[in-house]
Amino acid sequence: MRAWLSTAWVLVWKDLVQEWRSRDVLTSMFAFAVLSLFIFNYALELSPINRAEIAPGLIWVVMVFAGTLGLNRSFAAEQDQGSFEGLMMAVPELSVIYLAKMITNLLMMFGLAILVIPIYSLLYNQSLFDLRFFGILMLGAWGYSAAGTLISSMTVQTRMRDLLLPVLLFPLLLPVNMAVVKSGSAIIAASSVPEFQSWINLLLVYDVIMTVVSILVFEYVIRE
């Protein structure tokens, strides 16, 4: 277990260093997110009441679409130089590659949320600086990264990977999307926790199941 975790950390470090030096993925994700928020701001002409209602959905949609750009590239370094096969020969267990990629994608989504919330608050004149709301976004990001990393590992080996990833991933994300939007709306409307507890439970269950199942099936997916 210790070797498994330390290997995962080494792989996360490698992904972060690679990304920091190239800034390929972060730049496109952040640019897409900021532009989307601008476009929605001018296109929707929202009243203050409507803003509060659609804020969680709007932010989550922006994060999911921007995050897909990152997911599409998450195995790109391995694909470009065939390093995936190098990793397969070296790591103690193949599932550790999945875990590392999932953590990296989650960290990317964390960075995205940190960027999107202040920009939204500024553009839409509505403060979303609420730790509970941020926590819900992160729970959603966990489920998104867990499912997205697995699907990405499948589609990266295909010719139409850019198209296939969202087509396969988005239906799988339906429970996450609903839970994030419903519980986010409840937090903004200052509802008490018991009122949206079931949505948080759904998110937690989805995250844990998706992560565990993905770890278990990852070796089969990449070998077949």
Partner 1 sequence: MRFEAKKLCKAYGVQRVLQNLDISLQSGELVCLLGPNGAGKSTLIRLLSGLLKPTAGEITIDGTLADFSEAEIRRRIGLILHQTFLYEQLTGLENLQLYARLYGTRLTESDLKQLMVRVGLGKVRPVPVRSYSRGMKQRLTIARALLNEPQILLLDEPYTGLDQQGSTMLNQLLIEEKEQQRIILITTHELSFIRQVASRFDILHRGKIAESIPNADMSLDELQERYNTVVNNRVKVQTEAAP
Quick check: 177 binds partner 1 (CB under 8 A)?
no
Q: Which of 139, 200, 205, 148 is nearest to 173 (CA)?
A: 148
Quick check: 22 binds partner 1 (CB under 8 A)?
yes
- Torsion angle in degrees (nearest 10) through CA of 192, 195, 196, 198: 140
Name which position in 11, 64, 66, 210 contacts partner 1 (CB under 8 A).
11
Quick check: 216 binds partner 1 (CB under 8 A)?
no
Instruction: Closer to partner 1 by CB, 19 or 207: give it.
Output: 19
Quick check: 80 binds partner 1 (CB under 8 A)?
yes
Name which position in 34, 52, 54, 77 contacts partner 1 (CB under 8 A).
77
Q: With contact defined as beta carbons under 8 Å apart, do 102 and 95 qualify? A: no
Stretch that binds partner 1, among 14-22, 55-63, 109-117, 132-140 (CB under 8 A): 14-22
Quick check: 153 binds partner 1 (CB under 8 A)?
no
Quick check: 89 binds partner 1 (CB under 8 A)?
yes
Site string for partner 1, 116-145 (x = CB under 8 A): ------------------------------
d(CA 61, CA 210): 20
Stretch that binds partner 1, among 38-46, 87-95, 143-151, 156-164 (CB under 8 A): 87-95
User: Which residues form the interface with partner 1 (CB under 8 A)?
Assistant: 3, 6-7, 10-11, 14, 17-18, 21-22, 77, 80-83, 85-93, 219, 223
